[in-house]
Structure 1
Amino acid sequence: MTAHRILSWTPAAVVFDCDGTLMDTERHWVDARDAVLHGYGYAPAPGFSEQARGLHYTACGRLMADSVGRPELADELTTSLLERFRELVAAHPTTMPGAPELVRSAAQFAPLAVASNCPLEVVESCLDVAGLRRFFDHVVVPDTTTRPKPHPDVYLTAARLCGVEPDRALAVEDSQCGIEAAAAAGLRVIGVGPRPSGPQNAKADWWVESLDEPAVQGWAGARIPAQGSRPGSAGHGTR
């Protein structure tokens, strides 16, 4: 068991995933994928939802097209997917249980960043609506030089922007795709949600069902300095 690597340690930076970790948006991706496929006359294949979880939306669009045997529709499906997702997020923005509290506590002892596969404007909008944007020093998303998860690039960039080596930073992730990215970058990882079985289990140092668990909140609260917040906290930088 490697949970002690988190519980006995104070990270020099904390990097959060957004979808499904900070914001309850994974259900919006599922609904958006289903709606788009149904609009084209298709139904998701068994197991598709798990395959698509955490993927960059362009990779998801390609997967959707391939799964129905219509690879030529990849660009159309990708565009429709992102449009539908944005509509759903705007209509129902919701934070994950315990996420705001953990962010507020962590911001008092370490610089914070978000590393997401979503477009920057979507992440920024979600964080703004949730009242969390001001706590994050950096938001990192894929671009022409930064590959999406499961590549380690967004986590490597987030650690660098926070001014720490990756092994001194903590990642908080809910998807296997994201956990693989963070682990490959060298960060210690809290995995959030149902604990997977098999070799996937070993990628995260500590698995928790939810960020509102007392053990998680207590761990973060115990690291808050006695005299207020860390110097220079609550920046507003972006990638």
Structure 2
Amino acid sequence: MTIEAVVFDLDGVIIDTEAVWEEVRRAYVAEHGRAFLPDTQDRMMGMNTAEWSSHLVDEVGVPLPATRVAAEVLDRMARRYRESLPLIPGAVETVRALGARYRLALASSSARVLIDQVLATAGLTAEFEVTLSTEEVARGKPAPDVYLAAAAKLGLPGEVCAAVEDSSNGLRAAGAAGLAVIAVPHGVYPPAPDALAQAALVVGAITEVTPEAVAALR
């Protein structure tokens, strides 16, 4: 069994946006007289749009419909991306190097509108055969749905796909889907030990995810 495809996460792997998401959502919540719960940030990492907006309404207490919360937060995120896209150093080159040898997919918790904007701005749209948002599956990460769907759209079993992830919920999702998991832990938001245990390979930087490293996974 050999790896035939690589499925990338987006936030924290290609773009360094976890801090941007936290800043934007904390400010939005504060404007409505509320504050994050102690576990809000960790829980929202990997949630799809419907899930995190519902969390902000139902548990944090933002007094608006979840659909409006989602639309307003996404609009703020899109504006931030237009102002400055925080690409992780070496990420674009890594994607292209892997794309020269493997089929590529993207499985992200970001909304479709943000995925498309990021890839277009970074010049990576053509590199990915499949792109999926967790908006487009039943459950967000840590459920395996988005990774199972990505493999299915590639026409491949999960066992011949590798996943590149940074967050606890992303690692759990990829592991539950049966992919060979590569962890690129984020320095500010490190994954939990149980999630990191899903990884067949842990690297210190995205540039270490080389075609040779992927080939050695199976």
Shorter chain as denominator, the TM-score bin is 0.7 to 0.9
CA, structure 1 residues 206+23, in 2 after alignment: closer, same or farther (shift >3 Å)?
same
- Partner-residue secondary structure (3-state), 2:139: coil
Between the two proteins, the alignment pairs up a number of residues equal to 213
- Partner-residue secondary structure (3-state), 2:194: helix
1:77 corresponding residue in structure 2: 69
User: What are the equivalent positions in structure 2 for 1:189-200 lying under 5 Å apart?
Assistant: 189-194=181-186, 196-200=191-195
Question: Which shifted more, 38-47 or 120-129?
Answer: 38-47
1:139 corresponding residue in structure 2: 131
Aligned match for 2:22, one of 2, 27, 30: 30
1:61 partnered with 2:53: yes
Instruction: Describe the superposition over 1:145-192 as per-residue Cα deviations: whole angstroms up to 9, x where unpaired.
Output: 543322222211211222321100000111111112111111011111
> Aligned-pair distance for 1:106?
0.8
1:94 corresponding residue in structure 2: 86
RMSD in angstroms over aligned alpha carbons? 2.5
CA, structure 1 residues 69+34, in 2 after alignment: closer, same or farther (shift >3 Å)?
closer
Structure 1 residue ranges without an equivalent (≥5): 1-8, 224-239
> Aligned-pair distance for 1:197?
4.8
CA distance in 2, matches of 1:33, 1:196: 20
CA, structure 1 residues 149+97, in 2 after alignment: closer, same or farther (shift >3 Å)?
same
Aligned match for 2:198, one of 175, 194, 203: 203
1:234 corresponding residue in structure 2: none
User: What are the equivalent positions in structure 2 for 1:1-239 lying under 5 Å apart?
Assistant: 11-70=3-62, 73-143=65-135, 146-194=138-186, 196-213=191-208, 216-217=209-210, 219=212
CA distance in 1, matches of 2:205, 2:63: 37
- The answer to whether the 8 A contact 1:12-1:168 is kept is yes
Question: Which shifted more, 130-139 or 95-104?
Answer: 95-104
Answer with 1 or 2: which has the greater Rg.
1
CA distance in 2, matches of 1:16, 1:69: 33
Question: Which shifted more, 196-205 or 129-138?
Answer: 196-205
> Aligned-pair distance for 1:218?
7.0
